[in-house]
Amino acid sequence: MNLSPLWLSAKTAAIATIIVFITGVFLARFIARNSFRGKSILEAIFMLPLVLPPTVVGFGLLYLFGKNGFIGQFLLKFFDFQVVFTWYAVIIAAVVVSFPLMYQSAAAAFQKYDPNVENAALTMGASKWKVFWTISFPLAWPGLLAGLVLAFARALGEFGATLMIAGYIPNVTDTIPLAIYFAVESGNMEKATFWVIIIVLLGFSTMLWLNWWSRRNMMKYNDHR
């Protein structure tokens, strides 16, 4: 059994999670602490991939990164590089579909505690960067971790957008969901069953750990009250 889909899915999900964690945390922190015109529209755009069909998201990415797309033309002209039907397309699809979960969790986490705690530290001379790392980030960490785990699980199971922009290329873009789909298409039910079991176990383990960690964190919080 070729295990490349497992390695590719794990690697893609890990890289995508790192990207959405960094961008999601800082964007959520900025938007949560600032008011400006168009804020609601911007947040709606961030959350759009969560409600759109994956094929629509994939079509949008194909439109942007294809040879005739704005970004695709730029990359092809200045870097002689094409994103579509490459492993990078798999990462882009995973980032786009998992970002809303990370952003939503991070935004809720930063809005959960009193911002006066940060303001007090700022008035005492602490820099904004120091306040973020010593106050904001630790207070929001439970929610950030939940978003990180959910984003990883979503990236791991991405199918529709990946198929649209990356296609199915063995050992290049064949993630577990794609391997399942094409195994069924070719009538190889044994292979499909194997990958279904693998991804179900991965998803179940991820959510089980998140639930355990959440209960454990809540028990510690109640003990300290």
Q: Is residue 188 part of a domain?
A: no
Q: Look at the chain and report how many structural domains it folds into.
A: 1
Range of the domain at 24: 4-174
* Number of residues assigned to the chain: 225
The tens-digit pLDDT sequence of the chain (225 residues) is: 688 999 999 999 999 999 999 999 999 999 988 888 888 999 999 999 999 999 999 999 999 998 888 898 999 888 889 999 999 999 999 999 999 999 999 999 998 887 888 888 888 888 888 888 888 898 898 889 989 999 999 999 999 999 999 999 988 999 999 999 999 999 999 999 999 999 999 989 988 888 887 777 666 655 555
Phi/psi at 212 (5° precision): -65, -45
Residue 124's contacts (CB-CB under 8 Å, 6 or more residues apart) are none
**Is there a contact between 175 and 162 (Cβ–Cβ < 8 Å)?**
yes
Q: Is residue 215 part of a domain?
A: no
Q: In degrees, to the nearest 5, what angle opens at C-alpha 62 toward C-alphas 59 and 64?
A: 110
User: For position 89, which CATH number holds?
Assistant: 1.10.3720.10
Phi/psi at 137 (5° precision): -60, -50
Q: Is residue 204 part of a domain?
A: no
pTM of the shown model: 0.89
Q: Is residue 203 part of a domain?
A: no
Q: Is residue 156 part of a domain?
A: yes
Q: Is residue 186 part of a domain?
A: no
Q: Is residue 119 part of a domain?
A: yes
35 SS3 class: coil
